[in-house]
């Protein structure tokens, strides 16, 4: 009996997070209330507070889950991109993650939160920064590997290039959103990656 109750609680918490995540990705964190989630799920606000005492607690849980899923997606990109041309394939796979979010008419969760950064509680601010720091670290490693094997080329450090890529992809999502045009984002992303990719002839050993 206790196990079934725990499963129900976990299921309700997951559904709350699902609805809240979509609301953040569409409206922003300050654009919805507990009443919106309660109405969507057909539960009371008291039930929401049982799982997440306050909106800040909900926000932290959202970022933690999103960051965990993004890390899993990056691990999948690593697994899929193996062998020759791996850094370029990983770079393309990274951009594809953003494309899929936009295709679902949403924005990057942490990108939306970054736009509201100054209004967020400190723990949420710290979590947003960790998300981008972790993304930059992964991407920086990919870029450094690509420069080492000659498949990628960029000025400055790998960490600087990683920041440029993430900033450009987040910005391209933001501009493409009002047009409702995923292709607009894909073109921008393709041009960005092309600027980092050396030609096969240039990267081939002499």
Share of the chain above pLDDT 70, in %: 90
Residues 181-205 have pLDDT tens digits of: 999 999 999 999 999 986 544 444 4
Residues 134-180 have pLDDT tens digits of: 999 999 999 999 999 999 999 999 999 999 999 999 999 999 999 99
Residue ranges making up the domain that contains 140: 55-200
Residue 82 binned pLDDT confidence (cut-offs 50, 70, 90): confident
Split into its structural domains, the chain has a count of: 1
Return d(Cα 26, Cα 107) in angstroms, integer. 7
Residues 89-143 have pLDDT tens digits of: 999 999 999 999 999 999 999 999 999 999 999 999 999 999 999 999 999 999 9
Going by C-alpha positions, the residue among 155, 161, 120 that lies closest to residue 139 is 161
Return d(Cα 119, Cα 77) in angstroms, integer. 33
Residue 60 resides in a domain = yes
Residue 95 resides in a domain = yes
Contact 128, 120 (CB under 8 A): yes
Residue 10 binned pLDDT confidence (cut-offs 50, 70, 90): confident
Residue 20 resides in a domain = no
Residue 8 resides in a domain = no
CATH code for the domain of 65? 1.10.357.10
Entry pTM? 0.88
Residue 134 resides in a domain = yes
Residue 42 resides in a domain = no
Return d(Cα 29, Cα 60) in angstroms, integer. 11
DSSP state of 178: G
């Amino acid at each position: 009996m206790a196990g079934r109750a725990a499963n129900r609680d976990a299921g309700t918490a997951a559904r709350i997070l699902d609805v809240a995540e979509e609301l953040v990705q569409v409206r922003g964190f300050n654009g919805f209330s507990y009443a919106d989630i309660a109405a969507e799920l057909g539960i009371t606000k008291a039930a929401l507070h049982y799982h997440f005492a306050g909106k800040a607690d909900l926000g932290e849980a959202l970022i933690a889950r999103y960051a965990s899923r993004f890390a899993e997606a990056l691990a999948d990109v690593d697994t899929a991109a193996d062998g020759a041309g791996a850094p370029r394939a990983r770079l393309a796979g990274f951009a594809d993650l953003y494309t899929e979010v936009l295709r679902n008419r949403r924005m990057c969760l942490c990108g939306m939160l970054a736009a509201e950064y100054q209004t967020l509680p400190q723990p949420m601010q710290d979590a947003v920064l960790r998300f981008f720091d972790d993304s930059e670290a992964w991407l920086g490693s990919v870029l450094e590997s690509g420069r080492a094997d000659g498949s990628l080329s960029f000025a400055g450090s790998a960490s600087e290039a990683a920041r440029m890529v993430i900033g450009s992809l987040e910005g391209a999502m933001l501009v493409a959103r009002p047009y409702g045009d995923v292709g607009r984002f894909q073109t921008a992303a393709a041009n960005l990656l092309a600027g980092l990719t050396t030609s096969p002839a240039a990267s081939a050993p002499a």
